[in-house]
Chain A
Amino acid sequence: MRFTSTRSRRLAIAMIIAAGTTVPAAAQQTGMSPLDLSNPAASRQDANLRSFPTPPTVTPLERLPVGKLKLPAGFKAEVWSLGHPGARTMVMGDKGTLFMGSRLIGRVYAITTKDGKREPKVLLQGLTQPNGLAFRNGALYVFAINKVFRYNNIEDKLDNPGDPVELTDKFNLPDTIHHNWKYVDFGPDGKLYVQTGANCNICEINPGIHGQIRRYNADGSGMEIIARGVRNTVGFDWHPATKELWFTDNGRDWAGNDGPQDELNRVAKGMEGANFGFPYCHANGIPDPDIKRPNPCAGVVLPAALTGPHSAGLGIKFYTGAMFPKTYQNVAFIARRGSWNREKKFGYDVIVARTQANGTATLEPFMTGFLDDTKNEFAGRPTYVLPLKDGSLLVSDEQNGAIYRITYAAPQGKRN
């Protein structure tokens, strides 16, 4: 198709105009936030405080930064798969297919293993940020922004997924897009957990819609609110022993280099529906500088641990595998994608959280090396973690469209 004739050119222009003006009246929906309410005078305009591009194209093996990675003694990282740009969430199918969600590139990948070699393929494309994936009874649940699909028996039809069952109306999730790419997972109670983030950096949200973690029956019925006042969690998991829900949460931006810090939180038994503070109270009790009210932290559940300023803790998984040393039983691995709204870059690593019965947690480094502190540059962005059946740990790298596998072998003379 070439626009050489005036007629076809006019047609093309008409189509562009039509595409640009088909904004339904319903676009002014409920829950629309007012302007971002952060005070511009308090954080200057600065090109050192901006978000970084994610390449949509493939990073070849020789350019993957796996050689830079540093781990505790006995641990080793290798490239597990590559060639799937925008690599984020990972869920494992019953028959060994790794499904991978993404954001801007709009793809869901299926990664199979043949003769020990990974074979990634684009399973779905053209979706709006399909970050939320869950697998149950042979079905893949795909949560994009504003769309929910279920693909039954997906592992039997990877070459042709066919028509999904659409569950969008059943889940009735908000149609705002900011902080509404999804993280979803089935809890130990068999319910499907999903979050609705704050649709702004900092603003008065509609607490009946935004800033929640919810749980549903798998068909989208029976919605219950499990946590409130949660700004932007895109990772949660359940403690293997206590079955309590733990979640990461990203703190607000444009309030300075030092935070308020990101959080690791726990929903204690009997505390379902508790308030975690957004937008009035951040981190371990910091009142918001822009949105004020008396006693902003009254009744707010404070975090189990602070996970660093702008560090972007995303994926979290508790470890119950047999490969790593016993000291790693029931610890949580957290992938920190790394800061953007901070002059000196921070995060870009995987940390270990050792949770305590009293609801606190201590943190320690685990996988580092992507961040070059001297040059203030990063080589990769860990987004999600997934323990495999053999006890090794997968880490996805969104920047390079790759997955690394971390294994452990006891150093000589030392028993596991």
Chain B
Amino acid sequence: MLLLRRLGVPAFGLAAAVVGASVACAQTMPLPERIAQCGSCHGEDGNSRVADVPSLAGQPAFFVLNQLFLMREGVRRVEAMTPIVKELTDGELDALSQHFSKLEPKASDEPVDTALVPRGAELGQKLRCASCHLPTLAGQDQMPRLARQRIDYLFTTMKALRDNQRAGADTQMSSILAGLSDADLQALAHYSTSR
């Protein structure tokens, strides 16, 4: 079992009929309770006040659904999320995604270093962030909202993408951020959140 996990290979008996598995929609917990569970880390209003925990408010519904799906699938591994996502049905993934997409994103409680913003804006232009994440950086479809996201989370995530450590995203992000310094990523984080 341990060996299998290390290799990124499913445990015994996981091979399951695909069609059958995906039609199950029964909820394992009432939705309000589930939302409260998410809110204990991600913020009751979907705006996180906890270091390195992302805000979900105003994220594109498909983005949240896709990430939850990939975490449940074992593609994207976030230890704290693993036991929770394992319980989620397709119906819950959908309901949670819809819920968080409709909440209002609020500015992060971290201080924005305004001196970094122009450098971030310049890099953002050069890297064409707006083509996928939109000029408002509100995100669309599989591409997340960056505006008003937590600065520490943006930095940690971009660092992981740059260093080929983050699964569950298009590999383009790894190539786009390749070669950037940590200072560049900080500038991008401060710029993005302030959009």
Contact = CB atoms under 8 A, between A and B. Distances in A.
7 closest residue pairs by CB, A with B: A126-B74, A27-B163, A178-B175, A83-B19, A53-B142, A106-B75, A12-B80
Interface in A158-185: 158-164, 166, 175-181
A175 B164 contact: yes
B159 A13 contact: no
Interface string B47-64: 000111100000000100
B171 A18 contact: no
Contacts of B77: 19
A58 B62 CA distance: 14
Interface stretch (B98-106, B107-115, B131-139, B187-195): B131-139
B175 A199 contact: yes
Interface string A171-209: 000011111110000000000000000011100000000
A32 B163 CA distance: 9
Given A9-B41, A50-B143, A84-B18, A147 B8 contact: yes
Interface string B5-29: 0011110111111110111000000
A50 B132 contact: yes
B141 interface: yes
B70 A176 contact: no
Contacts of B180: 35
A45 B131 contact: yes
30 contacts: A3-B41, A16-B53, A17-B51, A19-B77, A21-B156, A32-B179, A33-B175, A33-B179, A35-B179, A36-B176, A40-B128, A43-B128, A45-B128, A49-B131, A50-B131, A56-B66, A58-B19, A104-B70, A105-B70, A109-B18, A121-B16, A121-B17, A124-B10, A163-B9, A176-B174, A178-B171, A179-B175, A180-B171, A199-B174, A254-B128
A373 to B, nearest CB: 22
A160 B52 contact: no
A1 B84 contact: yes
Contacts of A104: 70, 75, 168, 170
Contacts of B95: none
Contact of B171 (A52, A127, A177): A177
Interface in B148-194: 156-157, 159-160, 163-165, 167-168, 170-172, 174-176, 178-180
Contacts of B142: 51, 53-54
A15 interface: yes
A162 B129 CA distance: 43
A137 interface: no
A57 B69 contact: yes
B98 to A, nearest CB: 14
B131 to A, nearest CB: 5
A120 interface: yes
Nearest to A51: B170
A47 interface: yes
Contacts of B21: 122
A159 B17 CA distance: 10
B73 A120 contact: no
B9 A164 contact: yes
A170 to B, nearest CB: 15
A2 interface: yes
Interface residues of B, number: 71
Among B18, B73, B125, B172, max chain A CB count under 10 A is at B18
A16 B80 contact: yes
Interface in A67-109: 82-85, 104-107, 109
Contacts of A328: none
Interface of A: 1-4, 9, 12-13, 15-23, 27-28, 32-36, 40, 43, 45-47, 49-54, 56-58, 82-85, 104-107, 109-110, 119-129, 144-145, 147, 149, 158-164, 166, 175-181, 199-201, 254
Contacts of A33: 175, 178-179
B3 A163 contact: yes
A226 B84 CA distance: 47
A356 to B, nearest CB: 35
A162 to B, nearest CB: 8
B17 A161 contact: no
Given A19-B77, A127-B8, A181 B19 contact: no
A5 to B, nearest CB: 10
Given A126-B74, A163-B3, A28 B175 contact: no
B150 to A, nearest CB: 12
Nearest to B125: A40
Given A23-B163, A51-B132, 17 more contacts: A1-B83, A12-B41, A15-B80, A16-B78, A23-B165, A34-B178, A40-B128, A45-B125, A46-B131, A51-B170, A53-B141, A84-B18, A104-B170, A106-B73, A119-B17, A149-B7, A163-B7
Given A15-B79, A17-B51, A40 B40 contact: no
A126 B9 contact: yes
Given A4-B40, A45-B128, A127-B8, A35 B62 contact: no
Contacts of A20: 52, 156-157, 160
